[in-house]
A and B are shown apart, each in its own frame.
Chain A
């Protein structure tokens, strides 16, 4: 079997990294021009468009794709998996997670730590559940009738799916 040249062995990795860096740079530029109202869907679109534009531009300039089908799929898998990881952690970038805020707060006290009362005074107020219920209802998963909340058919579908996943993956209820 013919061995690939050392430079070619690194080419797939470098192409994947360059594609990710370009998409990230494009996000920085777009976010500075106008911050999207719904950032996660915008990010999904952006990370899908950038490599497509890059490949189209390359082909229009008369260059051919220098990778085999197997190598191209490898790069696509690398790019897609890292893009999805980035998009999945983006919600924690967009809004600070409560657990991480608590960790930062306790760490800021150094070796003296934080008292129960200090932590409860700072993080133990507000209506977190109220916000969650509103979000679920906005998604169309629940409906309210007076004080009672029930699942919609769509919510029932997702609940069944998560219940099945919870049982299959051996996971307890969250929250």
Chain B
């Protein structure tokens, strides 16, 4: 009975450990991406550990192991989406900037600072230095990794399946 509840709580405990480890590493190492990866790995290890503990008491099975790990992966992905919002969302950046400027910011200043070219420069920088998807040599951009391309193709396929053609903008 107790082991059954441990199994139910395992993904939530994994998520809690993911959060604590991510926060600790982000503050100690000052590297956001590294902290997210290590935090997720710690949470996964905790989830597997708890499932293995229940396995020892005979409650667990392959189905439950898969269910708990998948649930943890989904929760960790949700946490990553939340962190990523803080790292990449322009809207959040804008309101956080306004918080430090109580008298307000002029629209003209924002349009000057965040031109479409500036947006593109930041995106290319993230794709090159952050996620290392691109390499840049002699003024040309090359695809270095295929993970985001795979994501783009998957999303395109889902878009074609879900959103009716006539409604596509």
Contact = CB atoms under 8 A, between A and B. Distances in A.
B142 A3 contact: no
Nearest to B169: A95
A63 interface: no
Given A9-B63, A84-B78, A106 B142 contact: yes
Interface in A144-169: 144-145, 147-151, 155-156, 158-160, 162-163, 165-166, 168-169
Interface string A129-153: 1101101100001101101111100
A118 B92 CA distance: 30
B117 A169 contact: no
Interface size class of B (residues with CB under 8 A): 35 or more
A81 B104 contact: no
Interface in B127-147: 127, 133-134, 137, 139-143, 146
Contacts of B27: 170
A141 to B, nearest CB: 6
A156 B93 CA distance: 13
A4 B132 CA distance: 47
A104 B159 CA distance: 15
Contact of A31 (B116, B151, B164): B164
A66 interface: no
Given A85-B77, A99-B148, A129-B111, A35 B167 contact: yes
A10 interface: yes
B88 interface: yes
Contacts of B117: 120, 124
Interface string A102-135: 1110110001111110011001111111101101
Most chain A Cβ neighbours within 10 Å, of B116, B122, B164: B116
Interface residues of A, number: 91
A174 B85 CA distance: 7
Nearest to A75: B67
B120 A32 contact: no
B163 A94 contact: yes
A147 B108 contact: yes
A101 B137 CA distance: 21
Given A148-B106, A150-B98, A173-B97, A124 B116 contact: yes
Most chain B Cβ neighbours within 10 Å, of A35, A71, A95, A162: A162
Interface string B68-110: 1011001101100101011111111111111100111111101
A7 B45 CA distance: 27
A102 B141 CA distance: 10
27 contacts: A3-B59, A4-B61, A12-B63, A13-B63, A14-B63, A68-B4, A71-B8, A74-B8, A77-B71, A82-B70, A82-B71, A92-B155, A93-B155, A94-B159, A99-B123, A99-B126, A103-B127, A129-B110, A149-B105, A149-B110, A159-B96, A169-B22, A171-B32, A172-B87, A173-B96, A174-B88, A175-B94
